Amino acid sequence: MLLTTQDLQEIQSAYPDYRLELEDGEIIVMSPSGYASDEVATEFARQLANWVKPKKLGRVTASSAEFNSPDSNTRSPDVSFVKAERLKQSPRSFADLAPDLMVEVKSPTDSLIKTRKKIQNFLKVGTQVGILVNPDERIVEVYRNNYPVQILQDGDSLTLPQLLPGWTLLVSEL
């Protein structure tokens, strides 16, 4: 039996202490990310939000913000950004859109294959940029539709001129 977003919301209400996602009609219980991975995600979100908020460019959220996508999946990236003109007010529940930017930070229990698939699925439903931060390898993979994967490492700067003109993040700061 394939589950729906409504089923996910009901299950999430019954088990609020669990992070759940819905992919292809199946519930995924998300494991804790681990201290180092969460610290990297928090730093990414902090730097992004500190740049976005004063300019009123949009909304930055962490891993508890979930997105209902047109493919009937409900997923939550570790960090996400939605342009202000696309989301004028924060929804009380799940957002019915794809974020413009989504970031996944590999935790010790994550599969790189599954994490990359999650990023690709977000790109298919409208996300402009997907980023995979791999703290173990100290690299950042940047995904965009119709572009080769960009690999950044210590000493490199992450920029997203088409989405966030002027914003820069040093990979070494993550």
Domain segments of the chain as ranges: 33-173
3 state SS of 11 = helix
What is the tens place of the pLDDT at every residue in 4-56?
777 777 777 787 777 776 677 777 776 667 788 889 999 999 999 999 999 99
Q: In whole angstroms, give the CA distance from residue 111 to residue 134.
A: 11
Confidence of residue 65 (pLDDT cuts 50, 70, 90): confident
* pLDDT over threshold 70, residue 91: no
Of 23-37, 41-55, 63-77, 142-156, the poorest mean pLDDT is in: 23-37
**Percentage of the residues of the chain whose pLDDT score is greater than 70:** 94
Instruction: Report which of residues 14 and 149 the model is more confident about.
Output: 149
Phi-psi domain of 25 (left: phi exceeds 0; alpha: psi -120 through 50; beta: other): left
Q: Are 77 and 19 in contact (CB under 8 A)?
A: no
At 92 the pLDDT is 66
Closest CA to 145 of 126, 166, 158, 167: 126
At 21 the pLDDT is 67
Q: In whole angstroms, give the CA distance from residue 65 to residue 149.
A: 26
Instruction: Report which of residues 108 and 158 the model is more confident about.
Output: 158
CATH of domain 33-173: 3.90.1570.10
Of 6-20, 73-87, 104-118, 145-159, the poorest mean pLDDT is in: 6-20
